[in-house]
Structure 1
Amino acid sequence: MTPKELKQILQALVEHGVSELTLETPDYKLTVRRGGEVQVVAVPQVVAAPASQVQVAPAPVPAPAAEATPPTPPPQEAPRGGEKAEECPGCVEVKAPIVGTFYRAPAPDAPPYVKEGDRVEKGQVLCIIEAMKLMNEIESEISGIVKKILVQNGEPVEYGQPLFLIQPL
């Protein structure tokens, strides 16, 4: 399964409110439960590899600190998008297409893909989001100037969370 196919499956789960999905092929069996665990079973070895808890969609957090913040809008509107877009009128938000961990560079000792102020072209890699041990390259949807990077390296990101503000050329 390619990272792109996995990304499409995860997006479909979120968009359609599916709570559980099992996919079997001759090579593997994949079961995804929202808010639960993910198991991948390789065939013919039949070895279960439980992964750490993977959340496909943002889950409510019952911590008192979360209650002190204003209520979050529906998933169609990014939780922090409105505030950040106001910082850069006319800028386009690049949002996280999946849940995972944000990385600015392909390796810890490598330079970042982009920095604030860099010019980017449509299709250029901006960052990587690691999801379920797969590295997913996130590409720019437009050509422009990177005005703001909204996420710190190594920080977890949610589906639909703004990552970059890009001013179109």
Structure 2
Amino acid sequence: MTPKELKQILQALVEHGVNELTLETPDYKLTVRRGGEVQVVAMPQVVAPPPSPPVPVAPAPRPEVPAAPAPVPAPEPVQASPKEECAGCVEVKAPIVGTFYRAPAPDAPPYVKEGDRVEKGQVLCIIEAMKLMNEIESEVAGIVKKILVQNGEPVEYGQPLFLIQPV
């Protein structure tokens, strides 16, 4: 720090009525108290030790084992998407993330079963999210062709829940 910079700091203290100021840099720490002393403390320099030379490591001997050809996994059968299973069907998708329930209570009958006729706005299931029960309603009138989720399963946003054939 130059004497000019120190003078500017002291003038700023007086002008603004500051009683104490501490300025710390990697090289020094300066504490100034008005009406008192000026204390400059030199900070010790930390010097990293020089890097040690790399130690050569001999490669481990490789065992002489003939390599057997890796088995080729059989291709998994391609499953048709739920929409392809029912041409013309409307997918009812989960509007929220939560747990899927087919009935209003564990001992109650399910809202709908496959083959049931439903009206637009009829409750199809419940999705529980954050301890709130959200009724999911049918978007169309039709016949429930397929229920795509098991009772009690977690569902993601946008996951298909039902396939409904409009009538």
| TM-score where L is the length of structure 1 | 0.52
> Counterparts of 2:90 and 2:139 in 1: how far apart (Å)?
9
- Give the 3-state SS of the residue equivalent to 2:81 in structure 1: helix
Alignment-mate amino acid for residue 100 of structure 2: F
> Counterparts of 2:81 and 2:156 in 1: how far apart (Å)?
17
Superposition map of 1:53-132 within 5 A: 83-132=81-130
- Give the 3-state SS of the residue equivalent to 2:104 in structure 1: coil
Deviation readout 1:71-103 (Å, 9 max, x if unpaired): xxxxxxxxx9x7000000000000000000000
Same amino acid, percent of matched pairs: 89
> 1:149 maps to which residue?
147
Alignment-mate amino acid for residue 120 of structure 1: V
Following superposition, the deviation at residue 107 of structure 1 comes to: 0.1
| TM-score where L is the length of structure 2 | 0.52
> Counterparts of 2:85 and 2:121 in 1: how far apart (Å)?
24
Following superposition, the deviation at residue 149 of structure 1 comes to: 0.0
Alignment-mate amino acid for residue 103 of structure 2: A
Alignment-mate amino acid for residue 116 of structure 1: E
Deviation readout 1:3-51 (Å, 9 max, x if unpaired): xxxxxxxxxxxxxxxxxxxxxxxxxxxxxxxxxxxxxxxxxxxxxxxxx
> 1:166 maps to which residue?
164
Following superposition, the deviation at residue 151 of structure 1 comes to: 0.1
> 1:22 maps to which residue?
none
Superposition RMSD in Å = 1.5
Alignment-mate amino acid for residue 86 of structure 2: C
Residue ranges of structure 2 left out of the alignment (5+ in a row): 1-75
Number of matched pairs: 90
Q: 1:139 aligns with which of 109, 119, 137?
A: 137
Segments ≥4 residues shifted beyond 6 Å: none
> Counterparts of 1:124 and 1:84 in 2: how far apart (Å)?
22
> 2:25 maps to which residue?
none
> Counterparts of 2:133 and 2:139 in 1: how far apart (Å)?
19
- Give the 3-state SS of the residue equivalent to 1:85 in structure 2: helix
Residue ranges of structure 1 left out of the alignment (5+ in a row): 1-69, 71-79
> Counterparts of 2:97 and 2:148 in 1: how far apart (Å)?
15
